Structure 1
Amino acid sequence: MAVTFDLFGTLVAVDRPDDPASAVGAELRERGVAVPDGWPAAYAERHVDAPEGAEVPLPAHVAAALRFRGVDVPNNAARRAVVAAFDPTVRTRRGAADAVAAAAERGDVGLLSNCSVPELVSRTLIRSALERSAFDAVVTSVGCGWRKPHAKAFETVARRLDATPESLVHVGDDEGTDGGIASLGGTFVDVSERDLDTVATRLRQGESLGGAASCR
């Protein structure tokens, strides 16, 4: 059995900027970029055409928004500004490490995270109580190009675990995204209904994680 976990909101909590546009703008200025008037509006607009369900890396979006306002972005400044603006303070959720360890006792374990910020998932894991080595595969939307609930996101992590999507048990906190595994025949375990301590216990007891109380 292969078990995959969502990261943000499921295994960890992170502090996000209250005003992402302002946070990114401040970091751009630190790097010598002339942030234009009306930057919050530009940040909020769509500037990169992408297929439905595809991930647009946030640095690409920021660079496009600046170009739309006539500002050149030198020396990879957009990427460095975005990474700095979202530099995380991390809190590992109760039971997270134990749930991952219990899943490893049953089979391969993956991490599947929607995240448009490069390096954020790796930095989060380093600052958490989780070990990167605990996961047989780590897949991010910015890395694979697709966001949950798109089938290609789940297919990517399943392939890297040498599994099939329908065999996956995916543990997450958002039915709208993590629950997409159900459309492929897999099982969604909702940690807003069943906490991670319970997930770990049921995995170790060899019990099914499906059912109305945990899968919807």
Structure 2
Amino acid sequence: MRAVSFDCFGTLVAVPRPPDPAAAVAEQLRGRGVTVPEDWHEAYTEPHLDSPAGAEVSLPAHVRAALSSRGIEADESVVEAAVLDAFDREVVPVPGVEAAITAVDAPVGVLSNCSVPGLVDRVLARAGLLDQFDTVVSSVEIGWRKPDRRAFAAVADELDVPVEALTHVGDDHDADGGIDRHGGRYLHVDGDLTGLPDRLAGREE
């Protein structure tokens, strides 16, 4: 049996990033009564947490560490909610997305690089797509980012297939295309899934 996984951002949906992520996070923190240091942009961009190659660093954990580096301690749940809302933007499904998902005659899931807990599920729910997948896996939940094999293995395990039986659809040759190096199949898309059903069926490459 084979299975198919989709990247989320830029593949299934278009979601603009905040033009100034540090400022967006600061606004949400202040709205929840958290003191934000005057040199917040500097603190936000400094590295605060060590991680091995291929690992995902939780953005809320980074934000809490950035605040702590300036002597400010904040509740974990408050920071998580602030970061999630800071990256909550308008969601636009890409052309052909529903037909592409429906065309998958196999277990189907989502594998997304995302450092914000809960964001992938929220985005897919707003796009009306969440219930169309057998599983949704984000890097912040499993601790590993594409193209690390452990990221692809996580979604493959959820879909009950080996990594080698996984076809991954995405818009990033470096991250999503990493499946090729692990024995699976990569299908590159660029903001439009209209022709994907034929490609999945092998009628077009």
Query: Deviations along 1:12-36, whole A, 9 cap, x unmatched?
Result: 0012210000010111111111111
Query: Deviations along 1:133-165, whole A, 9 cap, x unmatched?
Result: 221111100111111111100001001111011
Could you tell me how far 1:99 is from its partner in structure 2? Answer: 0.6
Counterparts of 1:96-115 in structure 2, within 5 Å, are: 96-103=97-104, 106-115=105-114
Q: Does the Cα contact within 8 Å between 1:149 and 1:180 map onto a contact in 2?
A: yes
Of the three residues 176, 187, 190, the one matched with 1:189 is 187
For 1:114, the aligned partner's letter is N
For 1:81, the aligned partner's letter is A
Distance of 1:168 and 1:76 partners within structure 2: 35
Distance of 2:91 and 2:192 partners within structure 1: 19
Are 1:70 and 2:68 counterparts?
A: no
What TM-score results when the alignment is normalised by the length of structure 2? 0.94
Query: Deviations along 1:173-197, whole A, 9 cap, x unmatched?
Result: 00110011011011110003x9412
What TM-score results when the alignment is normalised by the length of structure 1? 0.90
Alpha carbons of 1:146 and 1:70: their partners in 2 closer, same or farther (altered >3 Å)? same
| Identical pairs, percent | 51
* Length, aligned pairs only: 204
Q: Does the Cα contact within 8 Å between 1:88 and 1:123 map onto a contact in 2?
A: no
Query: What secondary structure does 2:110 align onto?
Result: strand
Of the three residues 140, 143, 149, the one matched with 1:142 is 140
Q: Does the Cα contact within 8 Å between 1:97 and 1:129 map onto a contact in 2?
A: no
Query: What secondary structure does 1:111 align onto?
Result: strand
Runs of 4+ off more than 4 Å: none
Distance of 1:76 and 1:123 partners within structure 2: 17
For 1:35, the aligned partner's letter is V
For 1:162, the aligned partner's letter is D
Alignment-derived partner of residue 36 in structure 1:
37
Counterparts of 1:1-216 in structure 2, within 5 Å, are: 1-74=2-75, 76-103=77-104, 106-130=105-129, 132-192=130-190, 195-203=192-200, 206-207=201-202
- Which fold has the larger relative contact order, with Cα–Cα distance below 8 Å and residues 6 or more apart in sequence? 2
Query: Deviations along 1:31-51, whole A, 9 cap, x unmatched?
Result: 111111211011011101111
CA RMSD of aligned residues (A): 1.5
